[in-house]
Amino acid sequence: MKKQPKRIGLAIVGAGRVGLIRGELAARHPQVDWIGIAEKIPERAKLVADRIGADFVTADFRELVARPEATAVVVSTDEHLHVDPILASVERGLPMMIEKPLATDLAESAGVLAAIEKAGVDAVIGYTQRFRRRWLVAKEKVSTGQLGDVTMVTSRAFMNRLVAIDNYKRSDNPAEISPMVISGTHALDIVMWMMEAKTPVEVYARSVDKALGPEWKGIDGTGFVITFSDGSLYHGVISWALPVVWPGAVYSLEVGIVGVEGVLTIDDTHRDIVLAVNQSQGEGYAPDQTRRVDFLTSYPVGDMALGELRGPMREETNSWLTRLALGLKTQHAIAAEGHNRLMLTKAIDLSARLKRPVKLPISPEDEKRTA
């Protein structure tokens, strides 16, 4: 007998840019027959509700998650506000898509993960880059052994400082914000996904704070080496302090994967499509109107074309909704992977702060160490 797809009632907690995107996609999915949103800013709540045709609107996420129509939850609040809506959803046993990270504090992340796993809830993390074809092709070549045993991986991520400044503006605790935790985690997830059979045992890192430090008390960039139990190495660099006029809308990434039988290099810098204009850009990702040159397709979410979002977030969202409706396996990062990535980024920042190697994994107590 053919399996009947499940109907979906979607609760979206946080109606910012990502909440709106996922809501618009859900509104067009054939299995979604109810959408509710929770948003504290009334004007934003009305805008998003009108755009997606929401059936229910509230400023209280607990009221939303408690609705009997809700069968799944998107958590798309600011990063430091994830914990409470996740735990409220766990209490009802609702599957979730959670924007990364699970939490910004390692102890809270560990607590959230424990609650998710104890309840047996299907929770996935928004590592959107897993849904781009180039990384899927790379994953296939590595996982099928075409490079042989992978011995070394390098990654270099460059970003202009708009994302960094935006994050510092929204936080009252600059110490919680770092290029690794907020942005470097995407490159880290891709590499650790490629090397998921290996166990990281040590990290050594250094950071620089000359550009963002004076005004924002922040970190410009971080370089690190992760050593695995079999001696393999991962060397990574992330800088989110490039000048505002740097053309990459968000992410410019290069990855090299070396194995005993082959090598794979991936140029994800987006320098193959360059737009230069006399006037500011219109539809799409244009956070600073003074910028006139851009590497198109460098916004990780995707791009607006013919009135619709095209790209990885569309693929990711539709794949998750199909996962819910049909119970299909997908390449989403699960909650345990999300916690692991946060732990690794915190360990990298800890090593840079202590200026010495750090053994992995670190504990929540280790995260706070100053010596």
The tens place of each residue's pLDDT in the chain, 371 residues long, gives 457 899 999 999 999 999 999 999 999 999 999 999 999 999 999 999 999 999 999 999 999 999 999 999 999 998 889 999 999 999 999 999 999 999 989 999 999 999 999 999 999 999 999 999 999 999 999 999 999 999 999 999 999 998 899 888 887 777 778 999 989 999 999 999 999 999 999 999 999 999 998 899 899 999 999 999 999 999 999 999 999 888 876 789 999 999 999 999 999 999 999 888 887 655 444 556 667 888 888 888 888 888 888 999 999 999 999 999 999 999 999 999 999 999 999 999 999 999 999 999 999 999 888 77
Position 294 scores a pLDDT of 84
Domain tally, the chain: 2
Domain contains 56: yes
Q: Which residues pair with 258 in a beta bridge?
A: 152, 263
Position 284 scores a pLDDT of 47
* Residue 288 CB neighbours (<10 A): 13
Q: Which residues contact 135 (CB under 8 A, 6 or more apart)?
A: 129, 190, 193, 266
Q: At what angle do helices 185-194 and 133-143 cross, to 10 degrees?
A: 30
Domain contains 203: yes
Q: At residue 275, what are phi and psi to the nearest 5 degrees?
A: -110, 130
Q: Give ∠ CA 155-157-159 in degrees, rounded to 5.
A: 180
Q: Give ∠ CA 107-347-357 in degrees, rounded to 5.
A: 140
For residues 123 and 137, state if they share a domain. no
Domain contains 306: no
- Name the residue range of residue 143's domain: 132-299+343-347
Position 171 scores a pLDDT of 78
Q: At what angle do helices 17-27 and 42-52 cross, to 10 degrees?
A: 20
Q: Residue type at 37?
A: I
Position 283 scores a pLDDT of 46
Domain contains 362: no
**Model pTM?**
0.93
Q: What is the CATH number of the domain that holds 220?
A: 3.30.360.10
Position 51 scores a pLDDT of 96
Looking up tokens 């503006």, which residue turns up? 169
Position 370 scores a pLDDT of 79
Q: What is the CATH number of the domain that holds 105?
A: 3.40.50.720
Domain contains 338: no
Please give the Cα distance from 228 to 132 (Å, whole number): 26
For residues 66 and 109, state if they share a domain. yes
